[in-house]
Amino acid sequence: MQVRAKKALGQHFLTDQKVARSIVDALSSCPAPTGHPFPVLEVGPGMGVLTQYLLEREDIDLRLIEIDSESVEYLLTHFQGMQGRLMEGDFLQLKLEKLFPEQFAIIGNFPYNISSQIFFKVLDYKDRIPEVVGMVQKEVAERMAEKPGSKTYGILSVLLQAWYNIEYLFTVGSGCFAPPPKVESAVIRLTRNGRTSLGCDEKLFKTVVKTAFGQRRKMMRNPLKPLALARGKADILSQDIFSQRPEQLSVEDFVALTNLLD
Residue 206 sits in the same domain as residue 178? no
Domains held by the chain: number:
2
Contacts 24+ apart (CB under 8 A), 50-54: 50/14, 50/20, 50/23, 50/24, 50/107, 50/108, 50/109, 51/75, 51/79, 52/20, 52/79, 53/20, 53/21, 53/24, 54/24, 54/107
Q: How far apart are CA 214 and CA 32, in angstroms?
A: 41
pLDDT surpasses 70 at 34:
no
The set of residues, in sequence order, having a beta carbon less than 8 Å from that of 202 and lying 6+ positions away, is none
Instruction: Kindly report whether the peptide bond that precedes residue 180 is cis, defined as omega within 30 degrees of 0.
Output: no
- Asked if 180 and 214 sit in the same domain, the reply is no
Residue 106 and residue 210 in one domain: no
Counting residues of the chain whose pLDDT is more than 90, the rounded percentage is 80
pLDDT at 189 (0 to 100) = 98
Q: Do residues 17 and 116 share a domain?
A: yes
According to the model, what pLDDT value does residue 11 have? 64
Are 105 and 50 members of one domain? Answer: yes
pLDDT for residue 12: 75
**Between 159 and 182, residue with greater pLDDT:** 159
Per DSSP, the residues of 177-192 read EESPPSS-EEEEEEEE
Confidence of residue 216 (pLDDT cuts 50, 70, 90): confident
Q: What is the pLDDT of residue 142?
A: 95
Q: How far apart are alpha carbons 251 and 73 in whole angstroms?
A: 44
Answer whether residue 31 shows pLDDT above 70.
no
Q: Is the pLDDT score of 114 beyond 80?
A: yes
Query: From CA 223, how far away is CA 85, in angstroms rounded?
Result: 47
Verify that 32 and 54 share a domain, yes or no: yes
- The Cα–Cα gap between 73 and 88 comes to 10
Positions of E strands within 79-198: 86-88, 105-109, 131-137, 164-172, 177-178, 185-192
Query: Same domain for 247 and 163?
Result: no
Distance from CA of residue 195 to its chain's centroid?
18
Indicate whether 185 pLDDT > 80: yes
The answer for residues whose C-beta is within 8 angstroms of residue 215's C-beta and 6 or more apart is 222, 223
Q: Which residue range is the domain that position 209 belongs to?
A: 202-261
Of the chain, the percentage scoring pLDDT greater than 70 comes to 94
Residues linked to residue 133 through DSSP beta bridges, in sequence order:
107, 189
Selected residue with higher pLDDT from 177 and 192? 192
pLDDT of residue 10: 61
207: Cα separation from own chain's centroid = 19
261 by DSSP, 3-state: which? helix
**pLDDT bracket for residue 6 (50, 70, 90):** low
pLDDT at position 242: 92
Q: What is the pLDDT of residues 123-135, one digit of tens each?
A: 999 999 999 999 9
CATH of residue 208: 1.10.8
The CATH number of the domain holding residue 130 is 3.40.50.150
Pair (100, 219) in one structural domain: no
